[in-house]
């Protein structure tokens, strides 16, 4: 069997294996951010937003000014919405197919970059990429498809870039295709811009056949010229991003930048461990800001990271292969944009999905390592292909079940957050809050109350935790306790008072204390106007509902309710239920007048 036929058979088997390993995710639902960024996102429903996505940030639909400029990713979701609606099966199927596509591209990239190695070096790199459990989050979570899309275009760009260096016959075609893929990668997710650095490293380490060798300055000039088109595209992207998003958001002063720098060794070591020991996939981890140079949080990660760097340098010099250093730097470059940790939510800066593109470099290193092993096996008279088959079977027997097991943690919100709370035992307030919300959806109010109480105990100054306790008490019918919680929450510092006041009003309405409810709801509406929340509808609806209840015994309250309803109608002219409420209120007022006249 010739080499080409073997490669085709391997690739087909690999793609089938990839799909089989992740086929269980087709049963998963929408989780975490999927609910807001997809299910509650009106932008995905209209083809007209294909262009509009290039003019605003990803979260603009929710009134949030985020730093996420990902129009190509947003456009993909419009296409998928029109194909599948809100059926999770279709969305998860696309994630699996995207991962299979990236795996195929990694194989072709490995064939180019490991061409001097044994044939199975590219096979090993692709097999490891397909089955590595660190990819579970990216493939199993719909909202993480931006990493799949970014990596697909980034690897495509690198392949096209390498093809353009083959010769002048078709170089322009590949240069144009590479530039397009590079642009699409940046517009899918921000770290796509680091693909330019990955390509520059390939040019810098290109085999030098000139005698005498090219000088440093000439090599720098050659690399700069080769990367100039991509550099121009990167600048245009950054300018467009700045125009659309405006100036960069201010970076919080806490923690101090010194703590951020002290945290870098911990973060690097975390990612190294994830690549080497990919277990306990979770939406949240205990990611500390390193304030003190302790052994566990600073010195051990620093020593471990330096030891790995030393091993890579020794390996590179021993075999005289600069591509080892290139692949190692590929593991680092795509995570550089996240090194200003203060732009993330507190203690929420370490995630498996950030390793999807960097793992390409890791898998290429694994391919090189396998090549060295295969050479030694050949020297002992054992066929390289047979050795690969045995190793691949063993690797699959370990990684495939582990990937299936780890992906099960992403099946639904209850499983996801229950597992996250177990993994992140210290910095897990967000996971606990998400778990409480899911328990509330499932009407498990007692359990939700216990979870929310844990959050409040850990963050006593966080108003949202106390408001959640009030909501759980409200649903349990413990109205007096809920009333007290909402009142105290409204008096806390740095709280949008309209929110606890709104729920205080509902609590008193349910208890039949309408005068107290009206007072709370009028205060909530006034606070909403003072804070300029934009949409006052929910506060006005609550006040109108209270006045209508009071109007059953006091016609004057009906008269007060009427302008509130009319204001709601002005803000929501297409809502027929408001029209009906206005008409009924007018009829009730007329009926009350007739009774009085009699």
Instruction: Give residue-wise pLDDT tens across range 404-439.
Output: 999 999 999 999 999 999 999 888 899 999 999 999
pLDDT tens readout for residues 115-152 = 777 778 999 999 999 999 999 999 999 999 999 999 99
Is 506 within the bounds of a domain? no
Of 349-363, 404-418, 572-586, minimum mean pLDDT range:
572-586
CA 473 – CA 242 distance, rounded (Å): 45
Q: Is the pLDDT of residue 598 over 60?
A: no
Shared domain for 371 and 429, answered yes or no, is no
Can you read off the two tokens belonging to residue 586?
């007018």
Of 386-390, 401-405, 493-497, 584-588, minimum mean pLDDT range:
584-588
Shared domain for 364 and 423, answered yes or no, is no
pLDDT tens readout for residues 536-569 = 788 888 888 888 888 777 788 878 887 888 888 7
Instruction: Quote the pLDDT of residue 547.
Output: 86
Which residue did the predictor score with more confidence, 576 or 15?
A: 15
Residue with tokens 């050659």: 222
Is 39 within the bounds of a domain? yes
Is 333 within the bounds of a domain? yes
Rounded mean pLDDT, 194-215: 80
pLDDT tens readout for residues 441-456 = 999 999 999 999 999 9
pLDDT tens readout for residues 305-348 = 999 999 999 999 999 899 999 999 999 999 988 888 888 888 88
Is 532 within the bounds of a domain? no
Is 509 within the bounds of a domain? no
Instruction: Quote the pLDDT of residue 67.
Output: 86
Is 122 within the bounds of a domain? yes
Shared domain for 476 and 389, answered yes or no, is no
Shared domain for 215 and 152, answered yes or no, is yes
Q: Is the pLDDT of residue 233 over 80?
A: yes
Shared domain for 310 and 433, answered yes or no, is no
User: Which of 482, 502, 524 is the C-terminal boundary of a domain?
Assistant: 482
* Domain span holding position 465: 412-482
Is 328 within the bounds of a domain? yes
Instruction: Say if CB 353 and CB 138 are below 8 A apart.
Output: yes
Shared domain for 336 and 463, answered yes or no, is no
Instruction: Quote the pLDDT of residue 49.
Output: 94
CATH code, 467: 1.25.40.10
Shared domain for 474 and 375, answered yes or no, is no
Shared domain for 342 and 473, answered yes or no, is no
CA 238 – CA 419 distance, rounded (Å): 38
Instruction: Quote the pLDDT of residue 565.
Output: 81
Instruction: Say if CB 315 and CB 400 are below 8 A apart.
Output: no
> pTM for this structure?
0.91
Rounded mean pLDDT, 575-583: 76
CA 442 – CA 387 distance, rounded (Å): 52
CA 130 – CA 114 distance, rounded (Å): 18
Of all residues in the chain, the percent with pLDDT exceeding 90 is 67
Number of domains in the chain: 2
Shared domain for 385 and 249, answered yes or no, is yes
Instruction: Quote the pLDDT of residue 592.
Output: 60
Dump the DSSP string for 498-541: HHHHHHHHHHHHHHT-HHHHHHHHHHHHHHHHHHT-S--HHHHH
């Amino acid at each position: 069997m010739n080499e080409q036929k073997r490669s085709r058979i391997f690739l087909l088997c690999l793609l089938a294996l990839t799909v089989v390993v992740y086929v269980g995710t087709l049963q998963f639902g929408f989780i975490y951010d999927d609910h807001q960024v997809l299910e509650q996102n009106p932008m995905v429903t209209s083809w007209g937003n294909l262009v509009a996505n290039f003019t605003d940030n990803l979260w603009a639909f929710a009134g949030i000014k985020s730093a996420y400029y990902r129009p190509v990713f947003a456009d993909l979701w419009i296409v998928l919405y029109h194909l599948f609606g809100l059926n999770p099966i279709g969305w998860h199927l696309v994630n699996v197919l995207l991962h299979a596509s990236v795996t195929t591209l990694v194989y072709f990239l490995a064939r180019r970059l490991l061409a001097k190695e044994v044939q199975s070096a590219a096979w090993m790199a692709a097999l490891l990429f397909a089955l590595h459990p660190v990819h579970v989050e990216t493939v199993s979570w719909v909202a993480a498809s931006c990493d799949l899309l970014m990596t697909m275009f980034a690897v495509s760009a690198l392949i096209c870039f390498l093809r353009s260096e083959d010769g002048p016959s078709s170089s322009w075609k590949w240069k144009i295709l590479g530039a397009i893929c590079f642009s699409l990668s940046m517009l899918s997710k921000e770290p796509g811009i680091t693909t330019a650095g990955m390509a520059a490293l390939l040019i810098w380490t290109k085999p030098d056949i000139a005698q005498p060798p090219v000088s440093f300055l000439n090599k720098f000039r050659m690399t700069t010229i080769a990367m100039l088109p991509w550099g121009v595209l990167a600048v245009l992207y950054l300018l467009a991003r700045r125009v659309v998003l405006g100036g960069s958001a201010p970076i919080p002063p806490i923690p101090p930048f010194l703590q951020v720098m002290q945290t870098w060794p911990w973060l690097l070591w975390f990612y190294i461990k994830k690549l080497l020991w990919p277990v306990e996939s979770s939406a949240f981890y205990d990611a500390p800001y390193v304030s003190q140079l302790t052994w566990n949080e600073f010195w051990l990660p620093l020593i471990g990271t330096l030891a790995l760097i030393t091993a890579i340098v020794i390996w590179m010099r021993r075999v005289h292969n600069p591509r080892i250093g290139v692949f190692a730097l590929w593991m680092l470059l795509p995570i550089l944009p996240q090194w200003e940790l203060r732009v993330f939510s507190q203690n929420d800066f370490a995630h498996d999905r950030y390793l999807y593109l960097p793992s390409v470099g890791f898998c290429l290193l694994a391919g090189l390592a396998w090549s060295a092993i295969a050479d030694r096996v050949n020297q002992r008279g054992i066929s390289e292909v047979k050795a690969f088959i045995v190793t691949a079977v063993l690797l699959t027997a370990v990684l495939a079940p582990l990937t299936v097991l780890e992906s099960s943690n992403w099946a639904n919100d209850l499983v996801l957050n229950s597992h996250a709370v177990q993994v992140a035992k210290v910095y897990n307030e967000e996971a606990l809050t998400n778990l409480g919300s899911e328990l509330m959806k499932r009407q498990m109010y007692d359990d939700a109350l216990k979870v929310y109480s844990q959050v409040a105990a850990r963050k006593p100054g966080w108003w949202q935790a106390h408001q959640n306790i009030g909501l759980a008490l409200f649903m349990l019918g413990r109205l007096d306790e809920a009333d007290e919680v909402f009142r105290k929450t409204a008096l806390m510092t740095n709280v949008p008072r309209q929110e606890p006041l709104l729920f205080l009003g509902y609590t008193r309405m349910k208890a039949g204390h309408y005068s107290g409810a009206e007072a709370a709801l009028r205060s909530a509406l006034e606070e909403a106007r003072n804070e300029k929340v934009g949409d006052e509808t929910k506060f006005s609806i609550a006040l109108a509902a209270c006045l209508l209840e009071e109007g059953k015994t006091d016609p004057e309250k009906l008269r007060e309710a009427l302008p509130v309803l009319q204001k709601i109608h002005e803000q929501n002219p297409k809502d027929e239920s408001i029209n009906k409420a206005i008409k009924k209120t007018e009829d009730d007022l007329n009926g009350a007048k007739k009774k009085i006249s009699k």
